[in-house]
Amino acid sequence: MSTDTRNHEAAEATPDREVRAAHPAAGAKTGKVGAGLFDPAQLLTSLPDAFRKLHPRVMVKSPVMFVVLTGSVATTVLAALDPADGFGWAITAWLWLTTLFANLAEAVAEGRGKAQADTLRKAKTDTVARRLTDGAEETVPGTALRVGDRVVCEAGDVIPGDGDVVEGVASVDESAITGESAPVIRESGGDRSAVTGGTKVLSDRVVIEITTKPGETFIDRMINLVEGAARQKTPNEIALNILLASLTVVFLLAVVTLKPFAGYAGADGQTSLIVLTALLVCLIPTTIGALLSAIGIAGMDRLVQRNVLATSGRAVEAAGDVSTLLLDKTGTITLGNRRAAEFLPVRGATEADLADAAQLSSLADETPEGRSVVVLAKEKYGLRERHPGELTGAAWVPFTAQTRMSGVDVGGRAVRKGAAASVLAWVERRGGAVPDDARTIGERISRAGGTPLLVAVEDGDGARVLGAVHLKDVVKDGMRERFDELRRMGIRTIMITGDNPLTAEAIAEEAGVDDFLAEATPEDKMALIKREQAGGKLVAMTGDGTNDAPALAQADVGVAMNTGTSAAKEAGNMVDLDSDPTKLIEIVEIGKQLLITRGALTTFSIANDVAKYFAIIPAMFAVAYPSLDKLNIMALASPESAILSAVIFNALIIVALVPLALKGVRYRPMSADRLLRRNLGVYGLGGLVAPFAGIKAIDMLVSLIPGLG
């Protein structure tokens, strides 16, 4: 298959982002996932898991909910000792429901991941591999392959394991992994050599070198991650758990001391163990304790919905704290695939001569840039599109990173096209004169944000520069607005490009990035990341090649493209299955949404506990201290109804907040102080007001029950 044919196929195989029916992220763009948060079928499926999570070994992982479980067991025993105590049984029932609702929130979040894992398992099949041993093929089970083995795959074969194409080129169906129906091209010797076990070869023949052990393939890792088996708590989550545990201990000590105080005050009858347990459960931060795990799982799930695999929760959280974004110019900030826009001849040369030479030097150039030169010469000057085979005795000079130019020697004439410095040096080596306006034209193109390609010729009149081809790289629509949003979030954006500084500066100014790194090498990227990190900043970047692996590993958030090499995917802590470099901006937004959601619900939970204090404490001691009745601002019917109403509200508010925990608080770019004011105003104030309204409404219903009014 020729390179031109592969480019044509790749162009026709533009991924349809809406084709996700067979993928675990199906519905991510249509809203179906969000609509199914309380789907009865999903709740019914998750309910057994919620009961299984009642085991103490599972509950002890959350200190807050373990205290609730212990209290539920204690009140069950106390209620059993006095079967006629309806109040005790009611408190017991709602305490168990509180524990169950907390487990159900986590089970629903995990259930969505398990559904995705089931879809992935269908893609994982036991395959037979054609292993190459000393040049001969042998058939072995896919599970028998080891790192370094080489296997042959032809049209119709399922790739038996993760690896890199080391020979050949083929069209591969990756819909089992990415959800995209369009095939992709995988070939040796580039940054599109990585293949994934479970995908299917559609055409041609390739030799693949296995890079992972059985059971550690990409699909295996995805299954473990999306169903939560490999999810580890992040540093912020651990810190918050420690805070919640500390608050629980403080409230536990406070509640324990109430018993002797009540006895001294003559209110011992209002401080039974059941009442004290109810008080403890209502005062400790049960709301955030119940939802904390679900928030973390949902954050990972939101990434999966966008076809991004995070190898750890730490990476998702780090994305929310990123302060520096390194963005590749081509394909991320600009559309990529630069196109020839015009021919600019030097004095003494004509546009027609320049166009003819530029087209001639590009006939064997199969890159999009080379093709665009041929097309522009044909459309603008009527030059017919010649083919390399028509030129008898032509010696084609391919482009290399060392020479930075290409061309052809034919009929006693040599034509070269390439980077300005390289072409000028070529002309000078052949004794040719360089016109003054050659450099001027190149600088003018660079300042306009384009890339100049100088064209020179050597014939009977000697070596000389004919002019320049202006290659345009168009900035994507909306990029300036997105960078403005990132700036409001306090994130600094740096564009990385191999272009010269003039071109880089023009593109950076048009796109609105904060800074740029021109003529960047892998070492330059590493040095930049280290400088940013030395200043206490978290850095995120994207990459797809082996030369990007060191920088991806050094970055706090390294997003590797799925089309990239195995080395890049191993080095990064996220893999974008769509191979869309702009996804990095979405990843940062998802990370920030995770942190914002956790912070908002923590604020609500703590404010919520303060409000419940005013419902229970006055009810407990109003008999002994009538003046405390002034704190009964909700005018609750009785001490028993007040306590029971608070316990019921404490359980129901968890259910009410499950959709918010799973969907996430809506993200809006804003500064930290504005975000704090918003959290305090919406969730802090809401956490104070909601219990007053909710407990009063529940009390009005509970007071209708005989013996509680």
Catalytic positions are 328
CA dihedral 408, 414, 415, 416 (to 10 degrees): 80
Cβ-contact 437, 463 below 8 angstroms: no
Contact 329, 388 (CB under 8 A): no
DSSP class of residue 125 equals -
Q: φ and ψ at 179, to 5 degrees?
A: 85, 0
Tell me how far apart the alpha carbons of residues 593 and 575 are, in angstroms, rounded to a whole number: 19
Cα–Cα distance list, 174 to 183, 196, 197, 199 (Å) = 7, 8, 10, 5
Residues 6+ apart with CB under 8 A from 19: 175, 179, 180, 181, 182
Q: Is 402 annotated as a binding residue?
A: yes
Residue 149, marked binder: no
529: left (phi over 0), alpha (psi -120 to 50) or beta: alpha
Residue 417 among known ligand-binding residues: yes
The whole-angstrom separation of Cα 244 and Cα 250 is: 10
3-class SS letters over 6-17: HHHHHHHCCCCC
Residue 169 CA to residue 188 CA, distance in Å, equals 7
Contact 575, 560 (CB under 8 A): yes
Any binding-site annotation on 699? Answer: no
Contact between 127 and 186 under an 8 Å Cβ cutoff? The reply is no
HEC profile of 521-559: CHHHHHHHHHHHHHCCCCEEEEECCHHHHHHHHHCCEEE
User: Within the chain, what is the greatest distance between any pair of CA atoms?
Assistant: 117
Q: Which tokens sit at 396?
A: 């084609």
Alpha carbon distance 9, 4 (integer Å): 9
The dihedral built from the CA positions of residue 479, 485, 487 and 489, taken in this order, carries a sign that is negative
Known binding residue 232? Answer is: no
d(CA 651, CA 382): 77
Matching residue, tokens 């450099």: 439
Rounded Cα–Cα distance for residues 54 and 65 (Å):
10
Nearest to 300 by CA among 591, 650, 666, 605: 591
692 is in an annotated binding site: no
Beta strands 405-410 and 413-418, pairing class: antiparallel
CA distance 532 to 517: 13
d(CA 146, CA 158): 17
- Quote the strand ranges of 308-412, DSSP E: 308-310, 324-328, 339-345, 395-397, 405-410
User: How far is it, in rounded angstroms, from Cα 656 to Cα 652?
Assistant: 6
Bridge partner list, 465: 456
Q: Which helix (H) or strand (E) holds 32?
A: helix 32-35
Say whether 600 counts as a known binding-site residue.
no
544 is in an annotated binding site: yes
DSSP state of 311: S
Residue 473 annotated as binding site: no
Q: Are 564 and 557 in contact (CB under 8 A)?
A: no
The helix or strand, by DSSP H or E, that contains position 201, with its residue range, turns out to be strand 200-201
Flag whether 649 is marked binding.
Answer: no
548 is in an annotated binding site: yes
Nearest to 702 by CA among 652, 657, 633: 652
Cα distance from N-terminal residue to C-terminal residue, the chain: 84
Angle of helix 86-123 versus helix 273-283 axis, rounded to 10: 40
Q: What count of other Cβ atoms lies within 10 Å of the Cβ of residue 203?
A: 16
Q: Which amino acid is at 678?
A: R
Residue numbers belonging to the annotated binding site for ATP: 365, 369, 399-406, 417
Residue numbers belonging to the annotated binding site for Mg(2+): 544, 548
Residue numbers belonging to the annotated binding site: 365, 369, 399-406, 417, 544, 548
